[in-house]
């Protein structure tokens, strides 16, 4: 068979045994249908239908094709049709990567929504560092929520929000009730967070351009650990506003403007191009994106009120 486009016509001819009726079904002339039948007979090396008295009957080859072709054509159509996602039948494990803050603050809402729709789906969470962005395919992750300056060509992504860095300190800190100057910032002791993202290099790069550097008091891997240290020491912590605002609702913290100019950081949800058309993957990211975006927007909005009212 050299021309698969003729198969719908063949199916119609085998089913109707009438060229006039088949031509009407397919919207072509009877002459065109006769030429199609002639071509089909050559392709299959068989008459397919033969005249007997005033009607056509099928040859054995025609009988076999009449039985098999509709099934085969449906299978071909299924190959082209997008796969439908049935959450209740999905048993896939999705791998999500971001900071430990996202795991603590947003992941519970994600898995709660997933459990409602797809009880057999599971999640593995990995800490992410933005330096992995250019070797995404090697990380074996489905989705990443991260800071990014640009999206590499092999990835797809949606920007969720822009956020600024702020300074956080405990309320009993000597500097808690007045704006922090550059000199205050340089003289203070700082806590750094090493895991799950790069929030601090823009700060240190800007300070270096000013021939300044800050004093590092402690480096810890997690946001919660940094907050616990902050509450017990006269130190400063530089983190995104949305995270600062979230912790400020639960702990006695003050949020101050960063005394140096740093451009806002852009937060993206990213995935590899190979997964873009995958229906299960789309279902997963359609759950994650609005939950993360809403959390970012609401905490950033709340954080802006804390910066302006707590001096």
> Which of 241, 257, 273 is at the close of a domain?
257
Does the pLDDT value for residue 274 go beyond 50? Answer: yes
Where are the extended beta strands (E) located within the chain?
49-52, 55-58, 93-98, 122-127, 143-147, 155-163, 165-170, 189-193, 215-220, 236-240, 253-257, 265-272
> Which of 80, 109, 137 is at the close of a domain?
80
Rounded average pLDDT over 153-161: 90
Domain co-membership, 177 together with 295: no
Domain co-membership, 246 together with 271: no
Which pLDDT value is given to residue 175?
80
Q: Is residue 184 part of a domain?
A: yes
Domain co-membership, 294 together with 149: yes
Dihedrals phi, psi of 148, to nearest 5 degrees: -150, 145
Per residue in 184-193, pLDDT tens? 999 999 999 9
Per residue in 20-41, pLDDT tens? 888 888 888 889 888 988 998 8
Instruction: Name the most confidently modeled range: 3-12, 125-134, 250-259.
Output: 250-259
| pLDDT > 70: percent of the chain | 95
| Cα(146)–Cα(24) distance, integer angstroms | 58
Banded model confidence at residue 194, pLDDT cuts 50, 70, 90: confident
Residue 249 CB coordination number (10 Å) = 11
Domain co-membership, 34 together with 105: no
Domain of residue 239 covers 165-257
Rounded average pLDDT over 261-281: 91
With beta carbons less than 8 A apart as the criterion, state whether 66 and 26 touch.
no
Q: Is residue 87 part of a domain?
A: no
| Cα(15)–Cα(200) distance, integer angstroms | 71
> Which of 215, 240, 257 is at the close of a domain?
257
Rg (CA), the chain: 32
The residues facing 155 across adjacent strands are 272
Total count of domains within the chain: 3
Does the pLDDT value for residue 137 go beyond 80? Answer: no
Closest by CA position to 5, among listed 81, 76, 78: 76
Q: What is the mean pLDDT of the chain?
A: 89
Banded model confidence at residue 130, pLDDT cuts 50, 70, 90: confident
Rounded average pLDDT over 247-252: 93
Q: Domain with 219 in it: what CATH number? A: 3.40.190.10
Q: Is residue 219 part of a domain?
A: yes
Does the pLDDT value for residue 308 go beyond 60? Answer: no
| Cα(68)–Cα(25) distance, integer angstroms | 20
Which pLDDT value is given to residue 311?
44
Q: Domain with 38 in it: what CATH number? A: 1.10.10.10
Does the pLDDT value for residue 280 go beyond 80? Answer: yes
Domain co-membership, 186 together with 253: yes
Rounded average pLDDT over 209-224: 94
Banded model confidence at residue 55, pLDDT cuts 50, 70, 90: confident
Which pLDDT value is given to residue 249?
92
Q: What sign results for the dihedral spanned by CA atoms 73, 75, 80, 86?
A: positive
Domain co-membership, 104 together with 234: no
Domain co-membership, 176 together with 248: yes
CA separation, residue 253 to residues 65, 83, 168, 246, 250 (Å)? 77, 49, 7, 10, 9
Closest by CA position to 127, among listed 161, 88, 94, 101: 101
3-class secondary structure, 259? coil
Strand order in the sheet with 143-147: 122-127, 93-98, 143-147, 265-272, 155-163
Does the pLDDT value for residue 239 go beyond 80? Answer: yes
| Cα(40)–Cα(10) distance, integer angstroms | 7
Q: Is residue 218 part of a domain?
A: yes
Rounded average pLDDT over 208-212: 94
Q: What DSSP element (H or E) covers 147? A: strand 143-147
Which pLDDT value is given to residue 81?
60
- Rounded to two decimals, what is the model's pTM? 0.73
Burial of 226 (0-12, 13-18, 19+ CB in 10 A): buried
Which pLDDT value is given to residue 310?
46
């Amino acid at each position: 068979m050299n021309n698969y486009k003729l198969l719908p016509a063949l199916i119609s001819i085998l089913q109707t045994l009438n060229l006039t009726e088949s031509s009407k079904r397919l919207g072509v002339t009877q002459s065109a249908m006769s030429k199609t039948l002639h071509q089909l007979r050559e392709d299959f090396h068989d008459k397919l239908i033969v005249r007997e008295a005033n009607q056509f009957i099928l040859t054995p080859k025609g009988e076999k094709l009449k039985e098999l072709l509709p099934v085969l054509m449906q299978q071909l159509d299924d190959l082209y049709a997008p796969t439908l996602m049935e959450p209740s039948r999905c048993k896939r494990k999705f791998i999500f990567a971001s900071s430990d803050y996202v795991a603590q603050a947003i992941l519970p809402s994600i898995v709660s929504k997933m459990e409602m729709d797809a009880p057999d789906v599971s999640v593995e969470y990995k800490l992410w560092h933005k330096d992995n962005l250019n070797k995404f395919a090697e990380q074996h992750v489905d989705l990443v929520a991260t800071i990014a300056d640009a999206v590499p060509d092999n990835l797809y992504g949606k920007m969720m929000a822009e956020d600024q860095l702020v300074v956080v300190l405990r309320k009993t800190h000597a500097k808690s009730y007045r704006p922090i100057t550059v000199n205050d910032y340089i003289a203070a002791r700082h806590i750094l967070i090493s895991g799950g993202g790069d929030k601090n290099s823009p700060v240190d790069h800007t300070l270096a351009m000013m021939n300044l550097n800050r004093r590092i008091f402690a480096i810890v891997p997690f946001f919660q650990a940094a907050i616990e240290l902050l509450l017990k020491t006269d130190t400063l912590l530089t983190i995104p506003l949305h995270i600062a605002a979230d912790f400020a609702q639960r702990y006695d913290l003050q949020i101050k403007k960063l005394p140096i100019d740093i451009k806002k950081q852009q937060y993206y949800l990213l995935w590899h191009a190979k997964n873009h058309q995958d229906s299960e993957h789309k279902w997963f990211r359609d759950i994650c994106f609005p939950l993360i975006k809403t959390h970012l927007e609401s905490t950033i909005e709340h954080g802006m009120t804390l910066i302006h009212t707590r001096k």
